[in-house]
Amino acid sequence: MTTITTEPASHGDDHGHDHPKFLAHHFETPQQQFDSGKLGIWLFLTTEILLFSGLFCAYSVYRANHPEIFAYAHLYLNKWYGALNTIVLIFSSFTMAWGVRASQLGQKKLCVGLLGITFACGIVFMCVKAVEYHDKWREQILPPGPHSDWYNPPKGPEEPKENALEAKISADETARNKVAGEAALAGSSTPAASSAPAAPIIFTGPTTRLASDGVLVEQSAVPKAQIGPTGIDSTWNREHAPNSAALGGSSAEHVGPEPYNTHIFFSIYFLMTGLHGLHVLAGMSLIAWVMYRTHRGDFSPAYFSPVDFVGLYWHIVDLIWIFLFPLLYLIGNSQ
């Protein structure tokens, strides 16, 4: 007698009435399918949390190193829009959770209605976001973009060289630095770079140059950091200084002088809210799909897991915004 003998009368097709249509062939019971799905979606949600964790890490590091940038630049964000978005998302989470409950109870029309409201809340959220981004565009506070002249400054007029040796050495240095991949350093490339050297080569690094008396001089070849794409220069600052009272804050907030590199804050702001916005859009499409399936009658009290799992995804989107709101909009004035 072997352990596994010839197969008994086909068990696979016997499941007629206790293997309902929605039950996949490799699961024994609906409970097993539901539990597996729940475990699966929670694992996926942990990956979403870890995806955003990188951005939270960047936020933490830059805020810890440059609290003045965050304290200043966040005033350009409108915290009332942020608060409105928070309330909208919380409300949508509530309607979503209620929608899952309705699906579990077989209340089809109510479920479709609630999912519709959730979807509408998503639209409201994206509209408010669009208004905020439009404000930034109006104020020219945007990421530099691929053709910005901020990241790749245009070549200025060549500074006159003191003597031929220095001109030759700086040309060599330029050629070497170009090869090293520092595209921003590509100044004028003279043909002298490829000719055989008449004088012995003195190796200078990217941060040194040879002065006329043969002494190596330390000089940073790293391009100077600009103010950034915010369009904020000190003259404009005086006219358009973020007045916390005008934005609804208390007059107790002291707005100091504009710090350098405010674009760091806005880069992080756009990355975090942009990625979050993409997830809101993805969540909205999932909700629309599940709405359609509910309307079509795919779900019942015995099988509602797609609604449940899409709901979980939507709640994670809300969860991330719950943290984004205070971190980006409500920094306060702790220096």
Partner 1 sequence: MNPYQTASMNSPHDVHDAPHGVGHIVPLSLLLKVFGGLVFLTVLTVAASLVNFGEFNLVVALAIAVVKASLVVLFFMHLRWDKPFISIIFIGCLIFVGLFISLALLDSGQYRSSVIKQEAPGIKDHHTLLKAPPQ
Partner 2 sequence: MTTITPDFAHSPREPALVRDNYLNHSRGFLSWALTLDHKRIGIMYLCAVLTAFFVGGMFAELVRTQLLMPNGALFHSADPNSSAVYKTYNQIFTLHGAIMIFLVLIPGIPGALGNFVLPIMLGAKDVAFPRLNLFSFYLYVTGALFAVLSIIFGAVDTGWTFYAPYSTNTETAVSWMVFGVFILGFSSILTGMNFIVTIHKLRPPGMTWFRMPLFLWAVYATSIIQVLATPVLGITLLLLMMERLLHVGIFNSAYGGDPVLFQHFFWFYSHPAVYIMILPAMGIMSEVIGTFSRKHVFGYRFVALSSIAIAVIGFLVWGHHMFPNGQSTMLGTIFSFLTMTVAIPSAIKVWNWLATMYRGSIELATPMCYAISFMFLFTIGGLTGVFLGTLSVDVHLHDTYFVVAHFHYVMFGGTLIGFLAGIYYWWPKITGKMYNETLGKLGCLLIFIGFNTTFLPQFVMGSQGMPRRYATYQAMYQPYHVMSTIGAYIQLVGFIIAAITLLQSLLKGKTAPANPWGSATLEWSCTSPPPHDNFKTTPTVGDPYDHSNLVWDDKIEGYVRDNTLAEPYTTTTHIPKQPAGH
**The only residue of 132, 135, 182, 253 in contact with partner 2, by rule CB under 8 A:** 182
Question: How crowded is residue 205: how many other Cβ atoms within 10 Å of its Cβ?
Answer: 12
Q: Count of alpha carbons within 13 Å of 190, Cβ hemisphere only?
A: 13
Q: Name the helix (H) or strand (E) containing 108.
A: helix 108-138
Beta strand extents in the chain (DSSP E only): 208-210, 216-218
Contact mark string toward partner 2, 142..171, x via CB under 8 A? -xxxx-x-xx--------------------
Q: How far is the CB of 214 from partner 1 (least distance, A)?
A: 26
Q: What 3-state class would DSSP assign to 148? A: coil
Judged by CB under 8 A, how many residues of this single chain contact partner 1? 93
For residue 177, the Cα-to-chain-centroid distance in whole angstroms is 32
Q: How far is the CB of 100 from partner 2 (least distance, A)?
A: 21
Q: Which is nearer to partner 1, 177 or 321 (CB)?
A: 321
335: which DSSP letter?
Answer: -
Of the listed pieces 19-27, 124-132, 237-245, 292-300, which binds partner 2 according to CB under 8 A?
19-27
Is 247 a binding residue for partner 1 by CB under 8 A? The answer is: no
User: For 209, phi and psi rounded to 5 degrees?
Assistant: -140, 160
Is 303 a binding residue for partner 2 by CB under 8 A? The answer is: no
| Spatial distance between the Cα atoms of 244 and 253, rounded to a whole number of angstroms | 7
Contact 287, 310 (CB under 8 A): yes
Question: How crowded is residue 309: how many other Cβ atoms within 10 Å of its Cβ?
Answer: 21
Contact 174, 189 (CB under 8 A): yes
Is 259 a binding residue for partner 1 by CB under 8 A? The answer is: yes
Q: How far is the CB of 98 from partner 1 (least distance, A)?
A: 6
Q: How far is the CB of 58 from partner 2 (least distance, A)?
A: 6
Which residues contact partner 2 by CB under 8 A? 1-8, 10-12, 24-27, 32, 35-36, 39-40, 43-44, 46-48, 50-55, 57-58, 61-62, 66, 143-146, 148, 150-151, 172, 176, 179, 181-184, 194, 201, 222-226, 228, 260-261, 263-264, 267-268, 270-271, 275
